[in-house]
Amino acid sequence: MNRTFSTFLILLSILTCRFSAQSQENWRHLRGTNLDGHSLSANAPVSWSETSNVVWKTAIRGVAWSSPVVFGDQIWTSSATPDGKELFAVCTDFNSGKILKELTLFKPDSVQHIHPTNSYATSTPCIEDGFVYVHYGTYGTACVNTRTFDIIWTRTDLNCEHMQGAASSPILYKNLLILHIEGTDVQYLVALDKRTGKTVWKTPRPWDFYKDVEPVYRKAYCTPIVVEVNGKDQLISNGAQLCIAYEPETGKEIWQVFYGDDSTVAMNLSYNGMVYVNSGWMFPKDGGTFYCRLLAVDPTGTGDITKTHVPWETAEDVPQISTPVIVDSLIYMVHERGDLTCLSAKTGKVIWKTKLKDQFNASALYASGNIYLFSVKAKTYVIKPGLTFQQVAENQLEGQLKATPAIVRDNIILRTDKFLYRIGK
Domain that residue 356 falls in: 45-56+324-425
**Radius of gyration of the chain from its Cα atoms, rounded to whole angstroms:** 21
For residues 24 and 39, what is the distance between their CA atoms, to the nearest angstrom?
12
Any domain includes 393: yes
Any domain includes 364: yes
Any domain includes 340: yes
What is the number of other CB atoms lying within 10 angstroms of the CB of residue 113? 12
CA angle, 365 then 377 then 282, to 5°: 70
Any domain includes 333: yes
Residue 86: how many CA atoms within 13 Å on its side-chain side?
11
Q: What DSSP string describes 164-232?
A: S------EEETTEEEEEEE-SS-EEEEEEETTT--EEEEEEPPGGGTTTS-GGGT------EEEEETTE
Any domain includes 51: yes
Gap between the terminal Cα atoms of the chain = 38
0.95 surpassed by pTM = no
Q: Which helix (H) or strand (E) holds 360?
A: none
Among the listed residues 402, 395, 339, 413, the one whose alpha carbon sits nearest the alpha carbon of residue 376: 402
Query: Starting at the edge strand that comes first in sequence, how are the strands of the sheet with 350-355 ordered?
Result: 325-327, 330-334, 339-344, 350-355
Considering its fold, how many domains does the chain have in total?
1
Give the burial class of 43: count Cβ atoms within 10 A of its Cβ; 0-12 exposed, 13-18 middle, 19 or more buried: middle
Among the listed residues 291, 360, 289, 355, the one whose alpha carbon sits nearest the alpha carbon of residue 324: 360
Q: CA 265: distance to chain centroid? A: 9
Any domain includes 284: no
CATH of the domain at 396: 2.40.128.630
Residue 107 has a pLDDT of 98
CA distances from 379 to 27, 68, 146, 235, 394 (A): 22, 18, 32, 33, 7
Any domain includes 388: yes
pLDDT in tens, the chain (425 residues): 555 544 444 444 444 444 444 558 999 999 999 999 999 999 999 999 999 999 999 999 999 999 999 999 999 999 999 999 999 999 999 999 999 999 999 999 999 999 999 999 999 999 999 999 999 999 999 999 999 999 999 999 999 999 999 999 999 999 999 999 999 999 999 999 999 999 999 999 999 999 999 999 999 999 999 999 999 999 999 999 999 999 999 999 999 999 988 889 999 999 999 999 999 888 887 777 888 999 999 999 999 999 999 999 999 999 999 999 999 999 999 999 999 999 999 999 999 999 999 999 999 999 999 999 999 999 999 999 999 999 999 999 999 999 999 999 999 999 999 999 999 98
3-state secondary structure of 20: helix
Among the listed residues 336, 331, 384, 330, the one whose alpha carbon sits nearest the alpha carbon of residue 358: 336
For residues 353 and 365, what is the distance between their CA atoms, to the nearest angstrom?
18
Residue 196 has a pLDDT of 98
Any domain includes 296: no
